[in-house]
Structure 1
Amino acid sequence: MGEILKDVQVIVCDKLKETATRDQVKELGEAIKEMKEMPSSLQEETGSVTQNHDGSGNNNAGHCCLKDLRTTGPREDKKRIEERKGGLQKDSYRWILEHSDYQQWRDDKQRPLLWISGDPGKGKTMLVCGIINEMSREKDGDALLSYFFCQATDSRLNNATARYDQGAKNPFEGVNAWVALSMLFEDILEDTKSQSSTYQIVDALDECDTDLPQLLNLITQGASRFPYVKWVVSSRNKSDIEARLRLDQTQMRLSLELNETFVSRAIDMFIEFRVSRLPLINDDTALQEIVREQIYAKATGTFLWVALVLAELELVESWDVLEVLNEMPLGLVPLYHRMIQQIDQLQRKDPEFCRRVLSTMTLVYRPLLLVELAALSGLPERISKSPDLVARVVRQCGSFLTIRGDIVFFIHQSAKDYLSEETYDKFFPVGSEAYHYTIFSLKAPGISIDQVEPPNPDPLAAVRYSCLYWVDHLLDCQAREGTIKDLKDLKDGGSIYNFLRQHFLYWLEALSLLKSVSEGIVIIRKLENLQFDKSPNLHDFIHDARRFTVSNRSIIEQAPLQVYCSALVFAPEMSIVRGTFEKCIPPWVLRKPRVETQWSAMPQILEGHTSKVTSVALSPDGKQIVSGSGDYTVRLWDTATGQPVLPAFEGHTSKVTSVAFSPDDKQIVSGSGDYYVQGVLIVTAGISPQ
């Protein structure tokens, strides 16, 4: 690993510190560490290569489709959530199964939707887990049950999108992903009509940060179009969710606030169970009874408060239990305040280390591996090089965080909300951003990405997050008081400019290894949209970098090292990227081909049709292209990335002669030599042929 890291390009902006000052924010250059010079590829200790010598390759398209769909496993998510919350006890959710509203929803075919609503920490997710368990046990042999847990602290679980098309490297990602998966999902619901029953469960709608209106529309339209499908959804009490669910006589709402008596009984049972398992007082029944009574008196109907208090009691001696319990304030926010005070009272530099960890976790878009957290939070090397020591720092952060395996999570969304809102000025006096990059190389330019097996340990592990999210954190900085305008590091000669000039190709190589080149194009476009006052060189470089990436996306996705070979060799003579990195062209390229002087007016080539393209149309909003071909298919493309938005539309029996968009971008129509005109309606809830 040490030899690999000598040749790994790393750029780090140490901006996730509690003590950040305005001068430090302005001085990005001081925080960004220069990368060491390195050859374009490693000659040893690199990823191993596997080949299928019979030439058959992997032609199991169905298996690949399912693999790409699975960004997270709901069963594993459910198990993790239950373990993190202290286990699921049937006595704590039995009441909802016996509730008249739940039973009416379950038995009445005219009531497809049940909405469970309640304030933070009231136990909504555990109720949903209980319902899932009950349905799993009771459902008929051919009944279907699917579920999903939204989590705002995890970008893999806080959005409504995924996508399928056979042309994408990871076909369930992209800016038009929602439309594709909606179509696929509705086709699945249509196919379940013959089942005895079908259940769809979505927990924590309020934690869906991206495309929530579209998800709510999908649910309400699904409940209307497919009345044989039963829905259970849960969320906090939010007016926008209530409005979009459009509750009527066919839909039901079960409010936890209106069922306070049932919730209180469930909490009492939860307390009974957990207190009986406190290891240091399990032989003292009198003390157990006192603890139960005091916790119940202070719980105010909040499961999370109980769980956090019991977690702290597990760490104290039996003679301190009552004293600690007496110190516990009422309510979640005061309890979080107390946890911060305890962190501030730690010895020596431990409070600073905890603040670095908490500030990092507050800013990132998903849970982090311990190795990622070590790199991003800027912990001292003596700590960051040891996952065990990093885990010890995490455990000192009160009950804000929890570790499962080697992944760090927030204990609850309300904990992240508290750090983001109640203590923001304490943790981020002027805001924070994080920039980390790394790249490792391969053995030969022709090696396909599908033949690459990451080495163990993976040199990209610590900076995988930063490669994909560094510009988002830059934009977060801009959102706070316009600080980006003041950063000299975003001027010509600044740190961002120097980083791109020195390490842009290495970053592209890393994106290829992460199978995220299309995401890289979106990142570059975000940079291009920033206002660079009096920074023409930086602006021109970013513009050229976009052209370079878009033009070479396909080859870089297939073979990472081609970023140094064909991508550079065939770039225009006046390309800024080519001129900057010409030294990276392999020495065995003795004679360079003659190429165009400037980038052509054609920014990218869209590949996928197997015959001559006969008709093309651009959507009125400029975001999509539709094409028809002699292969009898119609394809829809994303203009930003050049990726197919959907699988090819099939149905014509002769070549497609004409395609067009409707003025509102919602429909495409195609004509063919088979004398038929086909129309496709594009809506947020899916795509359906007409």
Structure 2
Amino acid sequence: MAHLRDAGHNYQRPSATNGASQINSDVYFTPGQDPLNQLPVVHEASHDSAEKQDDPLCLENTRTQVQQCIYSWQESDDDDRCIFWLSGMAGTGKSTIARTVAHEFQRRKCLVASFFFSRGSGDSESASFLFTSLAKQLATRRDTATQATSSAHIALQDALREALRQDPDVIRKSRQEQWNKLIIRPLSSFFAKLQDVSPTTSAVLVIDALDECSNENDIKGIIRTMARQQLPHARLRIIITSRPETLVRLEFSEKRNILHSSLSLDNVPQHVIDADLARFLNSRFDAIRDHQEGLTEDWPGLHTLNVLLRRCGGLFIYAETLCLYLEEDCQHSQSRLQTVLNKTTLQGKGHTTALDDMYLTVLSNAFKNLSKLSESEKDRSKDLYDHVVGSIVVLQDYLSASTLSCLTRVSHFDIMAILHRLRSVIKQSGIESPITLLHETFREFVSDQRRCKDVHLAVDTKTAHRRTFNDCLHVLSAHLKQDLCDLKDPGIAVDDPRVDSVMISNGLALHVQYAVCHWTSHLERGGVDAADLCAVDTFLHKHLLHWVEAMSWLEKYAEAVESISKLYELLEFETDLKLFCWDARKFMISNGSIIARTPLQIYCSALVFSPKKSLVWRAFSEQTPAWLVRYRSPYDKWDQCIFKLPLTAYASDALIPIAFSPDSSTIAFNSGTCVDIWSSKSGISIASLEVPPTTDCLLFSPDGKHLALTVDKACICLFDMLARTIDSVLKTQNGSIEKFPFSPNGVYLISISQDQITMWTSANGELYWSSTTRGPHDILEK
């Protein structure tokens, strides 16, 4: 059977790291240090992180029905459904429930780990460190350890350390490999030790807002991977929350082998939701009455409360935004409430109309005095709003007010003034604290001109992206230079102890780091015009190597290659800039193993061994050290290939099986010892499957979701391109397989041998029907 080997780009190999082992493309384990302390973790994604300490929990005696449903499922020994999917429309309180149950399970001494996805927040919207973050939490949860479970907890830690020592590269392998080695095996050791002392203890994983994961393939892969757990179901429980998006819903419904319990908040009886909302509003109104004299004890009154409940339409985010708006200025809470009540719009389709009115009321009130300003002051106020709020809406990561000021060149005072006005919808607790939106629905509202009907308050995201791109390019042009960290030694590697976070921060301030990582993304999303092309051309000819050096120190060399590749594809015509991008891409791929490991070699060996007519060499040859000037490549120009496939001598002497995905973005080939799967756009290795040398046929499904390969004469493996793991092993009963075509829609795979034809379902690897020369003999499903 094929076995998934390492997955990651080919730029760095453990053999080139002086004993340090690479993980997840650019992270290293260093011998002599505790591997647990080197696991890459997204700290802010945990339910009990410092960043979430002020996020609300369910008010006492609210959401009791939903919580009890989850607790009963978790406690049941007979329920073998390992996953609980809690769905609901935006604003219905999924994240608050998720935080509440995570804290409650922790209080009950369960072993709890969590990951709260958050769109637009950097690592928290990516699944790259999902399993490593969960593993680190499971291994370091001291608050759940009792005297009876402490030895079991030590066994879990030891098992995780052993897994990392035996396979240091596991962090850059497939999701399934990480899941098995970092989660399942350590938990198996934990429960084996607990069997006699605490047999009822269980582990709970909470994955919130899965739909906010930035990569759709990761969403599908996470569900499929977690469904393949290999523990008694009562011992490991997984709670997933998301909007009822088609992508998540179809993944649960189409994969019939995914046993799960589900509860939609949209289906909870309205009277139950209204009762919870009434408790929530009354609690917050009590606090407002305490801060404002003159309000009656029953303020705002039963009739007003009922009107507000209808306006909420089941959305807790409406109630939260309303209360924050009233609490902003308690002395005027009555007049503000009256403004809200004067809105006559009722709930519309999708539960958004009343929420839109609330957001519009908040924005309008924040800038209601604009009419008193002069025309020039109005223009400046509008420009500041577009710049600051537009940037916050489109930023790819959370930045503090201080960092945002450096990026946008807007003063601290102006940014804080705008944030103070918008504190009902934008959270910010200090100039150095990250700026976050109260809820994702505000981003959706303010960036949709059909919903935010005041054109002066709506954010044109395309314009905002272009402005942020220009801000990034200005920052980069002002700060990038050769040897950013002033190391003066081209042999220093990225994992050298001298290169610590302080040195990186000194060379690359936070706003510069943001610009380095995201300028191409903003360019792509904002659209490219002639002025942009001129600016990019000037920037790359002056700072390409400095930018690649910065990306390398930030351990994002693979992303740099992807960025240049995307920029090349954005350019439609054979301009000088497009030719330069092609040359830069070739330069980066050809020298990747050197630059990603020792970034300052980009000015030394990488330039020296570039062809004489290379556009990159021509632009940056003066940055080569003087003692290397007399050395040059013997070649005049690059060859025309994008990258060269690594083949063994055996494969080089034979006709190797090779296959392209339907969209030509991926290539699979037998290198002689394994089947390698590469990105054809950037030359990055995606996965590697150990297979017998006899594997001589590879085929992608028409939808690109699966790669089929023969393992022996009577066996086909289906590799899931989304989950990056072997999904099914299909075995025929008679004869050797001669062909195995997919159906045109990719739903079925047919294996053809001399005397038998067999049809399988691609999604589940289930036998559909088979026939022999004697005719159909078995129909299992229609």
Same fold by TM (over 0.5)? Answer: yes
1:316-335 equivalences in 2 (<5 Å): 316-318=329-331, 320-329=332-341, 331-335=354-358
Contact residue 281 and residue 288 of structure 1 kept, 8 A: no
How far 1:540 moved relative to its partner? 0.9
SS in 2 for 1:368: coil
1:229-244 equivalences in 2 (<5 Å): 229-244=236-251
How far 1:290 moved relative to its partner? 0.4
Are residue 489 (structure 1) and residue 531 (structure 2) matched?
A: yes
SS in 2 for 1:558: coil
Per mean C-alpha deviation after superposition, the further-off stretch among 551-560 and 180-189 is: 180-189
Paired letter, 2:213:
C
1:224-248 deviation line (CA, Å, top 9, x unaligned): 7657143322233444533332198
SS in 1 for 2:263: strand
1-side partners of 2:277 and 2:582: how far apart? Answer: 58
Contact residue 617 and residue 626 of structure 1 kept, 8 A: yes
User: Which residue matches 1:29?
Assistant: none
Q: 1:251 to 1:564 in 2, by over 3 A?
A: same
1:289-300 equivalences in 2 (<5 Å): 289-291=298-300, 293=302, 294=304, 297-299=307-309, 300=312
SS in 2 for 1:666: strand
Are residue 132 (structure 1) and residue 102 (structure 2) matched?
A: yes
Are residue 428 (structure 1) and residue 460 (structure 2) matched?
A: yes
How far 1:633 moved relative to its partner? 7.5
1:145-294 equivalences in 2 (<5 Å): 145-161=112-128, 180-186=174-180, 190-191=184-185, 192=187, 195=191, 197-211=202-216, 215-216=219-220, 218-219=222-223, 222-223=226-227, 228=233, 229-246=236-253, 251-278=261-288, 281-282=290-291, 287=296, 289-291=298-300, 293=302, 294=304
2-side partners of 1:93 and 1:258: how far apart? Answer: 10
Are residue 415 (structure 1) and residue 455 (structure 2) matched?
A: no
SS in 1 for 2:85: strand
Q: 1:605 to 1:662 in 2, by over 3 A?
A: closer
1-side partners of 2:591 and 2:177: how far apart? Answer: 30
How far 1:505 moved relative to its partner? 1.5
User: Which residue matches 1:542?
Assistant: 581
1:450 is matched with which residue: 476, 491, 495?
495
Paired letter, 1:181:
R
Q: 1:121 to 1:148 in 2, by over 3 A?
A: same
How far 1:250 moved relative to its partner? 6.0
Q: 1:669 to 1:378 in 2, by over 3 A?
A: farther
Are residue 358 (structure 1) and residue 379 (structure 2) matched?
A: no
Paired letter, 2:249:
E
Contact residue 72 and residue 156 of structure 1 kept, 8 A: no
SS in 2 for 1:92: coil
User: Which residue matches 1:401?
Assistant: 426
User: Which residue matches 1:35?
Assistant: none
Are residue 103 (structure 1) and residue 72 (structure 2) matched?
A: yes
Contact residue 627 and residue 635 of structure 1 kept, 8 A: yes
Q: 1:269 to 1:285 in 2, by over 3 A?
A: farther
Contact residue 93 and residue 130 of structure 1 kept, 8 A: no
SS in 1 for 2:61: helix
User: Which residue matches 2:604?
Assistant: 565
1:81-96 equivalences in 2 (<5 Å): 81=52, 83-85=54-56, 88-96=58-66
Paired letter, 2:272:
F
How far 1:511 moved relative to its partner? 1.2
1:327-352 deviation line (CA, Å, top 9, x unaligned): 12562110111122134335644453
How far 1:553 moved relative to its partner? 1.6
How far 1:550 moved relative to its partner? 0.9
User: Which residue matches 1:592?
Assistant: 631
Q: 1:267 to 1:55 in 2, by over 3 A?
A: closer
1:648-659 equivalences in 2 (<5 Å): none
Gaps of 5+ in 2: 1-16, 22-27, 133-162, 192-199, 344-353, 371-376, 701-705, 730-782
Contact residue 342 and residue 398 of structure 1 kept, 8 A: no
User: Which residue matches 2:734?
Assistant: none
1-side partners of 2:340 and 2:121: how far apart? Answer: 29
2-side partners of 1:687 and 1:238: how far apart? Answer: 24
2-side partners of 1:613 and 1:306: how far apart? Answer: 68
Contact residue 541 and residue 577 of structure 1 kept, 8 A: yes
1:500-511 equivalences in 2 (<5 Å): 500-511=540-551
1-side partners of 2:93 and 2:542: how far apart? Answer: 51
SS in 1 for 2:628: coil
How far 1:591 moved relative to its partner? 1.7
SS in 1 for 2:30: coil
Paired letter, 1:532:
E
Q: 1:559 to 1:613 in 2, by over 3 A?
A: farther
2-side partners of 1:104 and 1:523: how far apart? Answer: 45
Are residue 645 (structure 1) and residue 690 (structure 2) matched?
A: no
Contact residue 183 and residue 686 of structure 1 kept, 8 A: no
Contact residue 587 and residue 610 of structure 2 kept, 8 A: yes
User: Which residue matches 2:362?
Assistant: 339
Paired letter, 1:180:
S
Paired letter, 1:324:
R
1:314 is matched with which residue: 327, 351, 359?
327
Per mean C-alpha deviation after superposition, the further-off stretch among 677-686 and 184-193 is: 677-686
2:318 is matched with which residue: 280, 286, 305?
305
Q: 1:423 to 1:127 in 2, by over 3 A?
A: same
Contact residue 325 and residue 362 of structure 2 kept, 8 A: no
Contact residue 126 and residue 214 of structure 2 kept, 8 A: yes
User: Which residue matches 1:583?
Assistant: 622
2-side partners of 1:567 and 1:217: how far apart? Answer: 37
Paired letter, 2:491:
G
User: Which residue matches 2:567?
Assistant: 527
Paired letter, 1:446:
G
How far 1:133 moved relative to its partner? 2.0
Are residue 74 (structure 1) and residue 45 (structure 2) matched?
A: yes
1-side partners of 2:416 and 2:318: how far apart? Answer: 24
Q: 1:613 to 1:128 in 2, by over 3 A?
A: farther
2-side partners of 1:55 and 1:302: how far apart? Answer: 50
Paired letter, 1:476:
R
1:460-495 deviation line (CA, Å, top 9, x unaligned): 3113222222222222233xxxxx4xx22366xx22
Higher relative contact order (CA 8 A, sep 6+): 1
2-side partners of 1:420 and 1:522: how far apart? Answer: 28
Contact residue 662 and residue 668 of structure 1 kept, 8 A: yes
1-side partners of 2:209 and 2:188: how far apart? Answer: 27
2-side partners of 1:495 and 1:250: how far apart? Answer: 52
SS in 2 for 1:407: coil
Paired-residue identity, %: 18
TM-score by length of 2: 0.66
1-side partners of 2:68 and 2:47: how far apart? Answer: 27
1-side partners of 2:41 and 2:697: how far apart? Answer: 32
Cα RMSD (Å):
4.2
User: Which residue matches 1:12?
Assistant: none
1-side partners of 2:62 and 2:707: how far apart? Answer: 47
How far 1:182 moved relative to its partner? 3.4
User: Which residue matches 1:684?
Assistant: 722
